[in-house]
Amino acid sequence: MPHKVKPVEQALTLAGLALAGLFVLIPIYGFAQLAFDASLTGQPLEFRLWPKTFSLTVFQAVWGRVAAGQTFVGALRNSLAVSGGAAALSLALGASMAYVFARLRFPGHRAGLLALLVGAMLPPVALMTPLYLLLTALKIRTTLLGLAVVYTAFAMPFGVWNMRAAFQAVPRELEESAFLDGASPWRAFWSITLPLALPAIGVAALLAFLTGYTEFAMGWLFVEKSDNVTLAMATSSYISQSSITWNQLAALALLMSLPVVVIFLLVQRSLLSGLLGGVVDE
The predicted pLDDT at position 279 comes to 40
pTM value > 0.95: no
What span, in angstroms and rounded, lies between the C-alpha atoms of 200 and 97? Answer: 15
Q: How many CB atoms lie within 10 A of CB 128?
A: 14
Measure Cα distances from 218 to 45, 116, 142 in Å. Answer: 32, 20, 13
**Category of 278 on φ-ψ map: left (φ > 0), alpha (ψ -120 to 50) or beta:** left
Q: What is the pLDDT along the chain (282 residues), one digit of tens a residue?
A: 556 667 778 888 889 999 998 888 888 888 888 888 877 766 776 777 777 778 888 888 888 877 767 788 888 999 999 999 999 999 888 888 898 888 888 888 888 888 888 888 888 888 888 888 999 998 988 899 999 999 998 888 888 888 888 888 888 888 888 888 888 888 888 888 888 888 888 888 888 999 899 888 888 888 888 788 898 888 887 776 656 678 888 888 888 888 888 888 887 776 665 555 444 444
pLDDT for position 272: 65
Sign of CA dihedral 59, 42, 49, 233: positive
Displacement of CA 67 from its chain's centroid (Å): 22
CA 59, CA 63: separation in Å to the nearest integer?
6
What's the confidence (pLDDT) of residue 77?
Answer: 92
Which residues, 6+ apart, have CB-to-CB distance to 191 below 8 Å? 178, 183
User: How many Cβ atoms sit within 10 Å of the Cβ of residue 279?
Assistant: 8
Domains of the chain: 24-275 (1.10.3720.10)
Within 8 A by CB and 6+ apart from 264, the residues are: 206
pLDDT at residue 3 in the model: 61
Identify the pLDDT of residue 38.
79
Burial of 164 (0-12, 13-18, 19+ CB in 10 A): buried
pLDDT for the residue 264: 83
Give the pLDDT of residue 271: 66
Torsion of CA 251, 257, 261, 264, to 10 degrees: 180
pLDDT at 31: 81
Q: Which residues contact 241 (CB under 8 A, 6 or more apart)?
A: none
